[in-house]
Amino acid sequence: MSQVGQVVGILRKLNGEYQSSTPKKLKLIDAYLVYVLLTGIVQFAYCLLVGTFPFNSFLSGFISTVGCFVLAASLRIQLNKANQSVFNVSPERAFADFVFAHIILHLVVVNFIG
Amino acid sequence: MLLTYYFWIKAVKSGSIMWSASCALAYFYMVSSWGGYVFLINLIPLHVLALMFTGHFSHRVYVAYSTVYILGTILSMQIPFVGFQPVQSSEHMLAFGTFGLCQLFSFIEYVKSKLTKTQFDTLFSFALVTVGFAAAGAGVVLWASGKIAPWTGRFYALLDPSYAKNHIPIIASVSEHQPTAWSSFFFDFELLVFMFPVGIYYCFKELTDANIFIIMYGMTSIYFAGVMVRLMLVLAPVMCVLSGIGISSVLTTYMRNLDVNQLKKSVTSTAQSSTRARRNDDSSSYPRKNEIAFGVVCMMTFFLMTYVFHCTWVTSEAYSSPSIVLSARSGDGSRYIFDDFREAYWWLRYNTDEDAKVMSWWDYGYQITAMANRTILVDNNTWNNTHISRVGQAMSSTEDKAYEIMRELDVDYVLVIFGGLIGYSSDDINKFLWMVRIGGSTEKGAHIKESDYFTPQGEFRVDKSGSPTLLNCLMYKLSYYRFGETYTEQDKPPGYDRTRSVEIGNKNFELEKLEEAYTTEHWLVRI
């Protein structure tokens, strides 16, 4: 029980750190990530409850959420000032790439959804 | 394939989403062209795993792999042949697993950066116990219940080369699927065979993300090229790349030691103290540095020149001739052309009904469809093993049994390739044992046993001592009809088969259920 208490304490500290040290732009992206994650969970739960027919539609929707999540996470990593040394892309370029990948993702999703 | 790899390396080096998206698009193009895309979708995750194990995993790799995997997977599912395999078959599971691992890794890194060490350890162990076991349990359940399909035939044969020979004769019969002889490595690559390990050595000396990828690509493709001849084409690009790295590194190392001015100076002036001092300096590392460097550079130049000659010769001799028109040199040195294949196909095109059906072995299916414009039973792309087996049974049975099968399949013409008159060795009698094996591999052909077609000593002979089953089967009769009265060589009796170098055993028979429609000039194609 004490371990659970410890873990709760750590999580609270983590939350505090996060609120104080993260700039507004990244918090916005994080909120978007949480929303996409929730959508994905809802879709998966629906699939488990109701069944996989039509499978291509489920896959298309689910991969769409995973794709949005991954692309937004990548954008966040690229925009984070702390990671500037690892990449050599400017913030504008990062956002443009993000849009480019999203166009491809949504074209395929619309084609696949049936 | 190369475009996909190029974009992948670019994506890993730069960490930009644009290169990753381009890699996914190139991968989509690869999936639409060849089943070998499975190699790509396993090599890229293997590379990511190698980077994780060697500590090179960075944000760039996370961005690159996640984007490539997601976009690539959904794009590949657009191809009808692939369908839902990326989430159902074992061949794609490594990519899926690595994707999950990537997300976990990055998340853990992020949390680690926000906490102290002890706090992170407690949190980590707690999460591991709860989430880890649940995920592992789910994975085992899925695998045991069969939701995830195991590795299928042709890819499993790559990991276990004896599998195809024992279980699926039709995969084993393709000559391109045989293991590679070392001589074909040398024939195709010559100098590159020796420079390949040199390139790998130089890649190991400087382990960057891209070098790790090239090493893995080289090692996996050389293993697969050794298992199956056809996969030489996967090996060829990486051979060139690694040999290029090897040759350029060797040349750079030795060019540095080369000092042309010093050579000239030491020849013209011998009494000057400056050159004597310089010569003393040289002998401290190893003597005659200059001369050795010059020698090595000359040797490499010589190798490269012979390589060019070899490549042009190989391409002109082995890879430039069409396989549908054969040529040979006659006694006085002039070229003699055998155009029998096209002759037969044109005869079919102009002398048979438009809806006539032709039965032949599957090697000639595409040619008959394209040039003779007639319906065939089986061709190179027939996946219905039972159907091909039925054709094999028809070819291996006696004329009566074969007639029943042919009536059932509604066949009008039978086409066989016969090389006995001119000595052509890729004819149907030489391929016949594969027809027997494939024919006997399904239920309806269970009475066909390969051992029946051999002599009691275990030899495959078409002369008098050949097995009676072989001497009376349809393939034999169609190939050797009227051959018994034909003279092929001086001093040899009639019916002498020049390919097998024996006089045939069963001559002067009549065909009861079929009749000869056409035989080409050199008896190569018989209908």
Band of the pLDDT at B228, cuts 50, 70, 90?
confident
Using CA of residue B451, residue B457, residue B462, residue B464, what is the dihedral sign? negative
In A, what residues contact B, Cβ < 8 A? 3-4, 6-7, 10-11, 13-14, 17-18, 21, 55-56, 59-60, 63, 66-67, 70-71, 73-75, 77-78, 83, 86-89, 93-94, 96-98, 100-101, 104-105, 108-109, 111-112
**Token pair in block for residue A8:** 């709760």
pLDDT at B146: 64
Q: Measured in Å, how far apart are chain B's first and last C-alpha atoms?
A: 42
How many Å lie between the alpha carbon of B91 and the closest alpha carbon of chain A?
18
Distance CA B339, CA B175 (A): 24
Q: Does residue B152 have a pLDDT over 70?
A: no
Q: B174 lies in a domain?
A: no
In A, minimum Cα distance to B86 occurs at A59
**Which 8-state DSSP code applies to residue B364?**
G
Q: B129 lies in a domain?
A: no
Q: A91-112 and B59-76 helices cross at what angle (nearest 10)?
A: 20
- Is the same domain home to B300 and B365? no
- Is the same domain home to B298 and B357? no
Which residue segment(s) compose the domain that B398 sits in?
Answer: 340-526
pLDDT at B422: 87
Q: Which residues have CB under 8 Å from B406's CB, separation 6+?
A: B359, B394, B414
- Is the same domain home to B522 and B414? yes
Which of B114, B147, B180 delimits the end of a domain?
B114
pLDDT at A1: 57
Interface contacts A/B by beta carbons within 8 Å: 108
Kindly state the percentage of chain A with pLDDT values over 70.
98
Omega within 30 of 0 (cis) for the link into A54: yes
Q: B52 lies in a domain?
A: yes
Q: Which among A14, A97, A109 has the least Cβ separation from residue B17?
A: A97
Sort out which chain B residues have CB atoms less than 8 A from A4's CB and list them: 126
| Cβ neighbours of B423 (radius 10 Å) | 16
Which of B114, B149, B182 delimits the end of a domain?
B114
Beta strands B525-526 and B416-417: pairing type? Answer: antiparallel
Please report the ipTM that was assigned to this predicted complex: 0.91
Q: Does residue B355 have a pLDDT over 50?
A: yes
More confident residue, B109 or B285: B109
Q: Which residues have CB under 8 Å from B291's CB, separation 6+?
A: none
Mean pLDDT for B490-508 is 86
Average pLDDT taken over every residue of chain B: 85
Q: B500 lies in a domain?
A: yes
Q: B213 lies in a domain?
A: no
Distance CA B250, CA B312 (A): 25
- Is the same domain home to B441 and B348? yes
Sort out which chain A residues have CB atoms less than 8 A from B14's CB and list them: 87-89
**B123 and B115 in contact (C-beta within 8 Å)?**
yes
Q: B364 lies in a domain?
A: yes
pLDDT at B200: 94
pLDDT, tens digit, 9 for 90 and up, residues B3-60: 999 999 999 998 889 999 999 999 999 999 988 899 999 999 999 999 999 888 888 9
- Is the same domain home to B313 and B346? no
Q: Does residue B147 have a pLDDT over 70?
A: no
In B, minimum Cα distance to A13 occurs at B115
Question: Could A70 and B21 be called an inter-chain contact, meaning their C-beta atoms sit closer than 8 Å?
Answer: no
pLDDT at B306: 94
Q: What is the CATH number of the domain that holds B358?
A: 3.40.50
- Is the same domain home to B378 and B434? yes
- Is the same domain home to B294 and B355? no
Question: Could A74 and B63 be called an inter-chain contact, meaning their C-beta atoms sit closer than 8 Å?
Answer: yes
**Total domains in the fold of chain B:** 3
Q: Which among A10, A21, A97 has the least Cβ separation from residue B115?
A: A10
pLDDT at B27: 96
Mean pLDDT for A80-105 is 85
Question: Could A67 and B75 be called an inter-chain contact, meaning their C-beta atoms sit closer than 8 Å?
Answer: no
- Is the same domain home to B519 and B472? yes
pLDDT at B164: 67
pLDDT, tens digit, 9 for 90 and up, residues A14-25: 888 888 877 888
pLDDT at A91: 84
Q: Which among B71, B77, B87 has the least Cβ separation from residue A104?
A: B71
Q: Is B123 helix (H, G, I), strand (E, B) or coil?
A: helix
Measured CA angle at A53 (ends A48, A57), to 5 deg: 95
Residue B469 CA, distance from chain mean position: 35
Type of residue numbered B137: G
Q: Which among B14, B66, B77 has the least Cβ separation from residue A74?
A: B66
- Is the same domain home to B459 and B365? yes
Q: B48 lies in a domain?
A: yes
- Is the same domain home to B374 and B409? yes
Mean pLDDT for B333-356 is 90
Sort out which chain A residues have CB atoms less than 8 A from B114's CB and list them: 14, 17-18, 21
pLDDT at B162: 72
Classify B490 in phi/psi space as left (phi over 0), alpha (psi -120 to 50) or beta. Answer: beta
pLDDT at A66: 93
Question: Could B115 and A71 be called an inter-chain contact, meaning their C-beta atoms sit closer than 8 Å?
Answer: no
Q: Does residue A83 have a pLDDT over 90?
A: no
How many Å lie between the alpha carbon of A41 and the closest alpha carbon of chain B?
16
Sort out which chain A residues have CB atoms less than 8 A from B58's CB and list them: 86
pLDDT, tens digit, 9 for 90 and up, residues B266-282: 555 444 444 444 544 44
Q: Which residues have CB under 8 Å from B234's CB, separation 6+?
A: B1, B36, B39, B221, B224, B225
- Is the same domain home to B366 and B458? yes
- Is the same domain home to B372 and B500? yes
Q: Does residue B246 have a pLDDT over 90?
A: yes
Q: Does residue B449 have a pLDDT over 60?
A: yes
pLDDT, tens digit, 9 for 90 and up, residues B110-122: 888 777 777 777 7
pLDDT at B271: 46
Q: Which of A22, A78, A60 is nearest to B87 (CA)?
A: A60
- Residue indicated by tokens 């395999």: B85
